[in-house]
A and B are shown apart, each in its own frame.
Chain A
Amino acid sequence: MNIEHFLKHAPKCVVESGEHSDIVMTTRIRLARNIANIRFPLSFSQQEANGVQEKLMKALLTPQEQLNFSYFKMADLSQLERQLLVEKHLISPYLAKHKEVSAVFLSSDESTSVMINEEDHLRIQVLSPGMQLMETYEYASELDDRLGKQVSYAYDEQFGYLTSCPTNVGTGLRASIMMHLPALTMSKQMNVLIQMMTRLGMVVRGIYGEGSENLGNIYQISNQVTLGKSEREILEELQKVVEQIIEKERNARKKLLERAQVTLDDRVNRALGTLRYARVLTSEEAASCLSSVRLGVDLKLIQGISPSCLNECVMLIQPGFVQQYAGTMLDAVDRDIYRAKYVREKLDNDSLITGEKGEETYDV
């Protein structure tokens, strides 16, 4: 499959819905692995880098492999193509940056990617819609075992799977849950909750990577610890924390509806107006309006817009996608103009599919 297949649309897991998908957007499992007797990417030679790539091509591009992977070397992709893969969370910014040695295997449904020569030789990543920690892990673990038969992993009786960074050693597992938490953010409970989660060994980050904080009220919650706990314990602990947050968010939404329905109704519909009619839209404004509209849809204050369209827009408002839509590189000012146009079109198309009429009869 060629690279275009992976660049046009938001991945399936973003558009589909899963358990608790009004609050939990996606589940992501990442396993870090290295090959025995080859130095880590931090200190290996170009020759060793090529060796890793070849070994994995032999292991993954076989007719027996169920996942039907496509293989791309980062050096063969354009800057925009790499950026799009990063914005889709199919590869990490780190992989895109180290393009001389790195490559990626993508499954055709985009649920699975195997990054080669990131910080470690292998980073197996599986994305699922909604909250599906155990299922997603099992899936990743099966691929891990299939691969482990083909290549010898670096493993130590005491330290487990060896990784370049001691923060990944042991299980090499990082599980992340992407959550939309507008009510907790609005009611200013997030700071306290982030502190609580940090104390419980969780890491909280924004959707668009480190430093993006809570753009669009979307938070990524993941485990910090990888050694001294089994995979199951790690996943169960994360599951418990996330379930509590879901409940708190539900309560906060209920309270908002009870106490300030008119204000909330006004806010979410104004946001929808902005997205429908704005001619210039910065990514911050777009993210915050999308969050409000999403809340409106979840609370049934807004009809006729599908959550999947909104999930897609959350991804499409990023600079790479806007430039792909425009078909040319743009400066920040032009990007805001094209972004407005892109979101407008997406929402118009969506109401054609879901039926604008529904909304009018509801209003009457």
Chain B
Amino acid sequence: MICEHCKQRHASVTVTKVQNGQAVAKHYCEHCASKFHPFQTDIQEEPVALHQLISNWFGVPMWKSTQTEEKKATQSTCPSCGFTYRQFLKQGKFGCTECYNTFRDQLPPVLSRLQAGTSHTGKSVVISMEQLKQKIEEIRQQMQHAIAEERFEDAAKMRDEIKSIQHKLDAGGVDV
């Protein structure tokens, strides 16, 4: 998107203003945004000191960085809970599991500050009965496709796979 003011540079700052009870979003480039008087005060009013503090603590560049790519990333919103990266920096917590996917690329620097590494080396999760059932359902559908396409060898393999999962499922039901 191009800056609505100078119509030259790439717009990287979004300003939402309420005009006559309606929210209007305007897009400006850094340069215009900082020069444009009313917005400058708007930006100043943001509690910059607070995120700066937390951002510094997490070792992540402040949201007002010059790299547009960084900015895009920090502006992304989690589709499941609506959390933004800034909100995460502010609260220090995530809203849902999907946040880990949404902000996956930004997490390693944060985690390396807090933790001993950025990937899990401990025990892996057990597969729940629910997930096993889903798996069976998936394979069953694939099997139907295979049969329709007359790939009977593949279908037979899938049938065996379903059997072995079903076996696990039955055993799990007993020894739990």
Contacts and interface: CB of A to CB of B under 8 A. Distances in A.
Interface of A: 34, 36-40, 42-44, 64, 119, 141, 145-146, 148-167, 169-171, 173, 201, 225-231, 234
A95 to B, nearest CB: 16
Given A39-B96, A159-B100, A166-B111, A228 B172 contact: no
B128 A119 contact: no
B123 interface: yes
B126 A173 contact: no
Given A39-B80, A154-B97, A227-B120, A161 B172 contact: no
Given A158-B119, A162-B97, A230-B122, 9 more contacts: A43-B81, A148-B128, A150-B129, A153-B125, A153-B128, A159-B120, A170-B120, A173-B122, A225-B116
A170 B112 CA distance: 12
Given A43-B83, A229-B116, A156 B100 contact: yes
B105 to A, nearest CB: 11
Interface string B102-128: 001001001100111111111111111
Interface stretch (B3-11, B87-95, B158-166): B87-95
Contacts of A225: 115-116
B94 A170 contact: no
Q: Is the interface of A mostly helix, strand, loop or mixed?
A: loop
Contacts, number: 132
24 contacts: A40-B81, A40-B94, A40-B96, A42-B94, A42-B95, A148-B127, A148-B128, A151-B130, A153-B125, A154-B97, A156-B97, A158-B118, A158-B120, A159-B100, A159-B111, A159-B119, A159-B120, A162-B94, A166-B115, A227-B116, A227-B119, A229-B122, A230-B121, A230-B123
B161 to A, nearest CB: 20
A226 B121 CA distance: 10
B125 A155 contact: yes
Nearest to A152: B128
B176 interface: yes
Given A39-B95, A43-B95, A148-B128, A162 B115 contact: no
Highest count of chain A CB atoms <10 Å: which of B117, B128, B129, B130: B128
A320 B71 CA distance: 50
Contacts of A42: 91, 93-95
Interface in B55-84: 80-83
A154 B91 CA distance: 21
A37 B131 CA distance: 12
A229 B94 contact: no
A348 B96 CA distance: 53
Nearest to A173: B122
Contact of A119 (B81, B93, B121): B93
A145 B92 contact: no
Interface of B: 80-83, 91-97, 100, 104, 107, 110-111, 114-131, 172, 176
Contacts of A37: 97
A229 B117 contact: yes
B114 A166 contact: yes
A16 to B, nearest CB: 28
A201 B116 contact: yes
Contacts of B126: 145, 148-149, 153
Contacts of A167: 114-115
A93 B125 CA distance: 28
A170 B119 CA distance: 7
Contacts of B172: 149
Given A155-B125, A169-B111, A230-B121, A149 B176 contact: yes
B155 to A, nearest CB: 28
A155 B114 CA distance: 19
Contacts of A152: 128, 130-131
Contacts of B111: 159, 166, 169, 227
Nearest to A229: B116
B116 to A, nearest CB: 4
A318 to B, nearest CB: 29
Contact of A166 (B110, B121, B124): B110
Contact of B115 (A36, A43, A227): A227
A150 B127 CA distance: 9
Contacts of A39: 80-81, 95-97
A45 to B, nearest CB: 11
Nearest 3 pairs between A and B by C-beta?
A228-B117, A160-B120, A228-B116
B97 A36 contact: yes
